[in-house]
A and B are shown apart, each in its own frame.
Chain A
Amino acid sequence: MTDAVFQIRSAGPLVSVQDGGRPGLMRFGVPNSGPMDRKALTIANTALGNPAGAAGIEVSLGGLVMDLVEGAVTLAIAGGGFIVEAGAQRLGSWAVFTLRAGDTLTIRRGPWGAWTCLAFAGALDTPTWLGSASTHALSGFGGGRLKAGDTLTVRNTRLLDDDRLLPCPVSARPRNRLHAVFGPQGRCFVPEARGALFGAPYQVTDAADRMGVRLRGSPLELNGALSIPSEPILRGSVQVAGDGMPAVLMADHQTTGGYPKIATVLADDLDGFAQLRPRDPVGFIEISPERAVAIARQRAQSFATYLSSIARRASA
């Protein structure tokens, strides 16, 4: 069992350690966090035979360049259409590859997508907070952001001799049409707002980070007082501020807020939504709660089938 040590040459903003997150703590003001595209980390980990929620690195459009200064390790990358240079190999975001001491890994913005996840065959040596290595952007708690000059150590590395390309499933592509259930504060809006949200085109703005993504388009008019008692928010809540513009809350969302939520996006649609870039179009499709549960179950089944097709088989 040996270690691999990376030295970070450069890291864009919001390049951070993420794992499966810290569920169950919203009552203490703590969101789940975890990757913006949860499928991406699950896929990368599964391809290496890791637990789905093992700690990895989430890379933003700002990219990441790091040198492997010691050891050797197999990695997997999934999510978005990034450009990946792994030693002498030129790859895309969807691959399993091996690095040896002296190799440089460069991940940079490619033709599509906004986030990609890097997993390691080994254990990332990283601080945890409340049992999770996920970095909570607002506080910096958890594994933390990567910065130039930092070192990153992977313990108990494995060399899998399994370099390959991974298929990008349809469900991991950018999603411009979001299924959403109306409410829970639909009553706070004028009746026309429902038709506007579910009929009019919106666009992603560059006010997008791990807390949420603001949209622009038809204003959603409130039917009176803006103020409601602060109430719980979920990843996927479509919150409307005083200017009538919706924002979709994401991985590091506030756990409560006093802005009304006109709709809530199907959880499974949020990974593809996270892969949109500023100025990409986005629209909402209204579905019933029953239909939402049915879609969630279908999606879970097809994702499980995909995962078993790319999983690293337990070695004989």
Chain B
Amino acid sequence: MTAAPTPARPRFTPVADHAVLVEFAEAIDDDAHAAVLALDRALTDAPCTGLRESVPAFVNLLVDFDPLLSDHAAVTAHLTALLGVKAGRSAAPALREVTVCYEPPFAPDLDAVARQTGLSPEAVVNAHLLGDYRVFMYGFAPGYAYLAGVPEALRLDRKPTPVRGVPAGSVIIAGPQCLVTTLTMPTGWWIIGRSPTRILTGDEARPFLFDVGDRVQFRRVSADDFARMESRPADD
């Protein structure tokens, strides 16, 4: 058995013939996530030979390389040398605004969340708006950005059974996480609003609204404002 990894002493695991997984913790942990982002930035600034891409997640970073140009040992040595390296450019995350309408018919689970948390629907909305959100990672499907920072009072387990056909743009929560969906998909998370903000922007120069590490602020809009925003081209 190897010792559990820590932000200071991550674990490097070879994956197939073309990747190394760097794990900074085995459970979700802020310091470990900060270490993931720091190593990801350092690798972007100083790529290893054969680097194809790196994929940041909650507590680990996957580094994918071309096995014709490098191997696990060389990539691991390169990554080890980057640990603790300060990023050359500013690490200050961008703040992105996402508008949300919490009114019917866009918030089918707002009353259920209110009942389970013992709050009024209005208090649920206010609590959601006050959360301090950060983009922890993308996953599941294109543009699905996992935002950490849902306030304690709103943290619920997901539903026992997923609901089908949940529209794109739904603002959904489960546990400490919040997500704005980009595709019509089933979800077991709680649907508390709908956003006209496009995470898949349609802009070739900047196709995804967030970078991992960005901060996110939600802004409330009425159903009328929502309708006006939806009728405009997707430039928000």
Contact = CB atoms under 8 A, between A and B. Distances in A.
Contacts of A141: 142
Interface stretch (A8-16, A113-121, A199-207, A287-295): A287-295
A184 to B, nearest CB: 4
B139 interface: yes
Interface string A262-303: 001111100000000000000000000110110111001000
Given A139-B183, A229-B28, A29 B143 contact: yes
Nearest to B212: A27
B55 interface: yes
B125 interface: no
Contact of B16 (A26, A29, A180, A231): A180
Interface stretch (A53-61, A104-112, A253-261): A253-261
Interface string A230-250: 111010100000000000000
A26 B55 contact: yes
Interface in B1-37: 1, 13-19, 21, 23, 26-28
Interface string A116-144: 00000000000000100000101101000
B68 A229 contact: no
B86 interface: no
Interface stretch (B56-64, B112-120, B187-195, B225-233): B56-64
A183 interface: yes
A130 B60 CA distance: 26
A184 B17 contact: no
Nearest to A131: B204
A28 B142 CA distance: 6
A43 interface: no
A300 B50 CA distance: 15
B53 interface: yes
A290 B14 CA distance: 9
B140 A29 contact: yes
A27 B53 contact: yes
A229 B141 contact: no
A181 B14 contact: yes
A226 interface: no
A186 to B, nearest CB: 9
Contact of A234 (B16, B61, B139, B146): B16
Nearest to B18: A267
Contacts of B59: 229, 231
Contacts of A267: 16-18, 67
Contact of B53 (A24, A236, A257): A24
B58 A29 contact: no
A30 interface: yes
A264 B16 contact: yes
Interface of B: 1, 13-19, 21, 23, 26-28, 52-62, 64, 67-68, 71-72, 137-146, 183, 185, 204, 207-208, 212
16 contacts: A27-B56, A28-B207, A29-B140, A29-B144, A30-B143, A141-B142, A183-B14, A187-B1, A228-B26, A229-B59, A234-B16, A234-B19, A256-B137, A267-B16, A289-B16, A293-B67
Given A229-B58, A292-B16, 4 more contacts: A27-B137, A229-B28, A229-B60, A296-B67
Interface of A: 23-30, 130, 136, 138-139, 141, 180-181, 183-184, 187, 228-232, 234, 236, 254-257, 264-268, 289-290, 292-293, 295-297, 300
For the complex of A and B, list the 9 residue pairs with the smallest distance between their C-beta atoms, beginning with the closest: A256-B139, A289-B14, A292-B17, A232-B62, A29-B138, A264-B16, A229-B58, A232-B55, A184-B13
